[in-house]
A and B are shown apart, each in its own frame.
Chain A
Amino acid sequence: MSSTSQKHKNFVSEPMGDKPVTELAGIGDVLGGKLEEAGFDKAYVVLGQYLVFRKDEELFKEWLKDTTGANKKQQNDCFGCLKEWCDQFL
C-alpha cells in the first residue's frame, strides 16, 4: 500500500498539460492562490521552477515554503508529486 494521496496518483498518471497549480499534491486553494500571485498559475510553471533547481529537493522545498508558506507535509507532497511525474514523463 502506498502513502500517496489520490491527488498525487491522479497527477502522476498523465501529462500535466494545462492543469492549474491546485492539481499538484499538497497544493490546495490557499497555497494555490499564493502561487498564482507569484506568477505560477499553471502546474507546468511550478515544474519549471523545480527543473531550474535541477530537481534539488532542498532548494525546491525551501522555495515553496518561501513563496507559499507551505508546511513540511505540503512541501513533501508537492515535491514527491513533481518528482514522480518527471520520472514518468520527462
Chain B
Amino acid sequence: MATDIADLNDEELREKLIEYGVNVGPITSTTRLFYEKKLGKLIDSGGNPTTQPETEESEEEEEEEDEEVQFNYSKSKPPVQPKPQYTSTPLVETPNPYKPVETSKPYKPVVQPRTATPTMPARRNVPSGTEETVYKKTEVPRNTAQKSGGGGGIGMWLKLFFLLSVAFLVYLVVINMNPTAENKIPLTFDGDN
C-alpha cells in the first residue's frame, strides 16, 4: 500500500499527488515533507485516488463571480421582502437574504442609513419629499458601489452624510423651540414651538 510514502521518490510522490488532484509544485528539500504529509492525509481520508477538486481558491473566485453576475440580474427581480413604509423603488439591497454574506457586505452600510430614516417622520415639519430624495441618493451610490466593487468606502460617506443631515435637522428643531431666540433660520416655520 502507500504506507511507505517516505520511500517514494520525488517523481512517484508527485504522480500520487496528481492522482489526488493536488496542484503539485516542485518537490524540493523544503517542500517534500509537506507533500508527504498531504499525501498521507489524502490517503487516510479518501483512500480513493480520484481527482478530488481541492482548488479552494478557484471555487471562491467562481462564487464571487457568480454572485456579481447574479446581483446584476437581481435588480430586475421584484423583492419579496415586506417594505410597508416605503413605496415603489425596488431597491437592489432587497435580495440580501438570498445571497451569501460576501455580497451583502457592500450593501450593509447602505442598509443602515435606511433604518435610520424611520425616525425622520417624527419631525413632521420636514416635507416627505426628503425621504424620496434620500432614497434616490441611496440608489445612486449603491449602483456605483456595485460596479466599482469599492462599496465599503462609499457607504461610510453615506453614513456621514445622513448623520450630518440628521444633526442639522435636530439643530433646526432645537433652535426653533427656544422661545427667546430669534427665528434666524429661514427654513423653519414660524410659531412652531
Contacts and interface: CB of A to CB of B under 8 A. Distances in A.
Question: A and B: partners?
Answer: yes
Contacts, number: 35
Q: Is the interface of A mostly helix, strand, loop or mixed?
A: helix
A56 interface: yes
Contact of B26 (A2, A52, A56, A58): A52
A49 to B, nearest CB: 6
B147 interface: no
Given A1-B152, A62-B37, A56 B30 contact: no
A53 B56 contact: no
Q: Is the interface of B mostly helix, strand, loop or mixed?
A: helix
- Chain A, interface size category, equals 10 to 19
Nearest to A83: B57
A20 B66 CA distance: 39
Given A1-B152, A52-B26, A52-B31, A57 B37 contact: no
Interface of A: 1-2, 49, 51-54, 56-59, 62-63, 66
